[in-house]
Amino acid sequence: MSDVDDDIPDLIEHADVEQGKRVPLTIICGFLGAGKSTLLKRILTEKHGYRIAVIMNEFGDTADIEAKAINISSPDDPTAEGSEEFLELANGCLCCSIKDSGVAAIEKLMQKKGAFDHILLETTGLADPGPIASMFWHNEEYAYGLGRDITLDGVICVVDAVFGKQQMEEDHNTDSINIGESLRQIAGSDVIILNKTDLAEADQLIHTESLIKRVNPGSPIHRTIKGQIDLKHILGISAYTKPPPTDPSDDPPKEPHVHTADCHHDQDQEPKTTHYELRGISSLQVTCPVLKQSQFDRLDEWLRSVLWENHIPENTSAAEEGESPVLQVLRCKGSFTLQDGTHYVLQGVRSMYEISELDNSSSQGDLGLPDVGKVVLIGKGLDDNVRRSLEKVFQ
Ligand SMILES: Nc1nc2c(ncn2[C@@H]2O[C@H](COP(=O)(O)OP(=O)(O)OP(=O)(O)O)[C@@H](O)[C@H]2O)c(=O)[nH]1
């Protein structure tokens, strides 16, 4: 038995959890100064009809927010009094200031369950959303604790339209596998908000979007000024239960396309490009046909090898990669159809992943899933060997 076996996480069955009763939670991350607080302030002050609880590291400038401050105290934990502050806002939102993003603070927020129907958690500019997302997704402790009350809806990343490109290229605050925080934020997000578009030139916007797409081709990008975005794009997206959105650029063009100055796609990309790399982090996207059961089983086996043991099945251990770069997947997504017509969604955060069957009766019609499936991996060391190995699974 290898050491790696000890680290293999247990996947938790959620059959006993009543999905409908859980409050969705959205994580907001983003580069320093990109506009996270501006977006949150907008949500806290506008009349949008949602009852949202926002968890911030600090209140910041709330002088203009009409609110009634209350303190929450718990009979079980007298020290809780005054340690967190809640503001009930005129538009129905609930604002909560916490010193850290720990579970304890969220447990205290859940004492007010019923007062809100969505939670937004703002992280600091240097935070890696991956570990926070996994905290709210699958782990044993969570499934039997807060997991009964909260479900992870998605991770949103706010990118500075002016400095975003530079931040991605110069990202020096790297982790043990040399990936900087801004790239980890983009890699781990389900929706990207490209903010401050009023300050950037058209070319700059296209270029930054193209860089973002290289790191994370599967997540939609929305351009905003001062965080002005229709909340339906960031709330209630069920990014961890629905298939990844279909990117029109995944499909081969049906008719010749004439590029104009108004085109908002990367003209340097080939139509079926499947591999990109930016400062060591790359994404790999492989399409697959309708799968036989044997191919489906092989895919599951392949994912276990890559996500849990950090090597492709052709190499019996990570050490055998020899000169190959370290293989580590930060995020994976996918959707595929089996020959019997069942549709599956793949979701993964680092070594944890889940392949779940989509409920045909309820959502299938709306999803309009094509029979051609895809697997998107974002991480380090996703080179041609990995691509070939994955393609072999589908042969
Ligand atoms: N012109 C312009 N300014 C913006 C926009 N969005 C935010 N700002 C300004 O940019 C500055 C930084 O915005 P914040 O919302 O504080 O950014 P942040 O991501 O919360 O910053 P940190 O918490 O320090 O990481 C503020 O002065 C905002 O008023 C925008 O779309 N256009």
pLDDT tens string 20-60: 478 898 999 988 788 888 898 888 888 888 888 887 755 44
Does any ligand 1 atom lie closer than 6 A to the CB of residue 348?
no
List pLDDT tens digits, range 275-319. Answer: 455 556 778 888 888 999 999 999 999 999 999 998 998 876 555
Residue nearest to atom 9 of ligand 1 (CA): 35
Q: How far does the centroid of ligand 1 lie from the alpha carbon of residue 214, in Å?
A: 25
Q: What is the DSSP letter of 282?
A: E
Contacts of 269 (CB under 8 A, 6+ apart): 210, 213, 249
Please, what are the domains in the chain? Answer: 11-233 (3.40.50.300), 273-393 (3.30.1220.10)
Whether the CB-CB separation of 286 and 387 falls below 8 Å is answered with yes
Q: Which atom of ligand 1 is nearest to the CA of 158?
A: 19
Q: Model's pTM, two decimal places?
A: 0.71
Q: Which atom of ligand 1 is nearest to the CA of 161?
A: 31
What are the φ/ψ torsions at residue 72 (nearest 5 degrees)? -105, 130
Instruction: Work out the angle at residue 154's Cα, subtended by the Cα atoms of residues 23 and 234, and round it to the nearest 5 degrees.
Output: 90
Find out whether the beta carbon of 226 lies less than 6 Å from any atom of ligand 1.
yes
Q: ipTM, 2 decimals?
A: 0.98
